Amino acid sequence: MQRLVRPARPWLLGLAVLGLCLLGGLRPAHAEKKYELRIATVAPDKTPWADLLKDYKTAVETASKGRIKVRVFLGGTMGDENETVRMAARGEIPGVAASTGAVASLVEELAAIEIPFQFRNANEADFVLDKYLLVPMEKAFKAKGLVLVMWSENGFRHFGANFPVKTPGDLKNKKMRSQESFVHIEMWKALGASAEAIPTTEVTTALKTGSVQGFDQALLYTVAGAWHSSITHMTLSAHIYQPAVIAFNKEWFDDLPPDLQAIVIDEGRKIVRGGRAAIRKMNPSLVKIIKNAKVKISTLTDAERAAFVTKTAGVAAKVKARSAAVKATVELIEAGLTEFRAKTKKSP
């Protein structure tokens, strides 16, 4: 009598196939995971900052072959600088692009960069940031739940006000908008001004209502934020060099596969120099725009600058006293400046 053969059950066939895949070191085919990178910034549209972020978006999406989708939120639509920095650290957004003054509210070592009259020119700043501070700041950022992707540029800050600023005495008892940063507030105190910590997005209103009588800011943001429309005088003082950074939430970054981690870092660092150059190239035209708005432009003479340097000299000691980590960062900057100045002095 012929024996009947029952057909194999589908679930048994599935187990057999899976077993063969595992034994053979194979995995069932699956779609690659996609990631979304949202970056918040107060940088307005149609500025070199916005262009830099858009270039970064294109580079990352292309290099990742669409596995990372980048969305950039410009103009403070997700909140002010200090707020978005903390949102990124908490993981509420994956990325933030902000000035070091804002990020210093969390990564305190960055305050060392913004000591008044510390850098004489942009070349000094580039040398120190790239050679002396990048690796130590990467560690400092990670300790606060962030990953430092790249340096960006805000630029040298200058005084804008509804009165002339030629001496420290001109600022005595004046209400001046200050960035929400320890080193900035201490600078205003040293100059005898009343520091009013006001978010970037509220400065224009404060100037128009008279809540403050002036501010300090880089030329590009002064124009981009239309702050120059509410002042009568601009003093090209170049008293603080302020870079910016793009940083990611560490948990979001750690979740990326190693190849995508390399892409988001490498593509950012490829465009650092170009971004700096684009912003610096605009400075002469920005001065013209401010001047055309009927703002009187003046530049500190060497003697006038020396008076400001003397008046703010004590700020560095107060910054160093913040913590051992901040003190060590100031000393790194000092070492970098010593090396750079020795090299340039020897150059023909």
Alpha-carbon distance of 167 to 19, in angstroms, equals: 81
Instruction: Identify the helix (H) or strand (E) that includes residue 236.
Output: strand 233-249
Residue with tokens 């057999």: 16
Alpha-carbon distance of 123 to 52, in angstroms, equals: 20
Instruction: Over range 82-88, report the average pLDDT.
Output: 96
Nearest CA to 178 out of 194, 161, 163, 155 is that of: 194
- The pTM (predicted TM-score) of the whole model is 0.88
Q: What is the pLDDT of residues 273-293, one digit of tens each?
A: 999 999 999 999 999 999 999
pLDDT of residue 171: 98
The residue ranking higher by pLDDT, 347 or 15, is 347
Copy the structure tokens of residue 319: 């910054």
Copy the structure tokens of residue 133: 């501070």
Q: Where are the domains of the chain?
A: 32-346
Copy the structure tokens of residue 325: 């980590």
Q: What are the DSSP calls for 63-128, one per residue?
A: HTTTSEEEEEE-TTTT--HHHHHHHHHHTSSSEEEEEHHHHTTTSGGGGGGG-TT--SSHHHHHHI
Lowest mean pLDDT among 24-28, 95-99, 104-108, 184-188: 24-28
**Strand ranges (DSSP E) for 141-187?**
146-161, 175-178
pLDDT of residue 2: 41
What's the chain's length in residues? 348
CB atoms within 10 A of CB 19: 10
SS3 73: strand
Q: Is the Cβ–Cβ distance between 161 and 231 less than 8 Å?
A: yes
Residue with tokens 């942009």: 122
Alpha-carbon distance of 16 to 11, in angstroms, equals: 9
Q: Is the pLDDT of residue 151 over 60?
A: yes
CB atoms within 10 A of CB 7: 6
Q: What is the pLDDT of residues 31-84, one digit of tens each?
A: 689 999 999 999 999 999 999 999 999 999 999 999 999 999 999 999 999 999
Return the CATH number of the domain spanning residue range 32-346: 3.40.190.170
Percent of the chain with pLDDT over 70: 91
DSSP 7: P
pLDDT of residue 25: 45
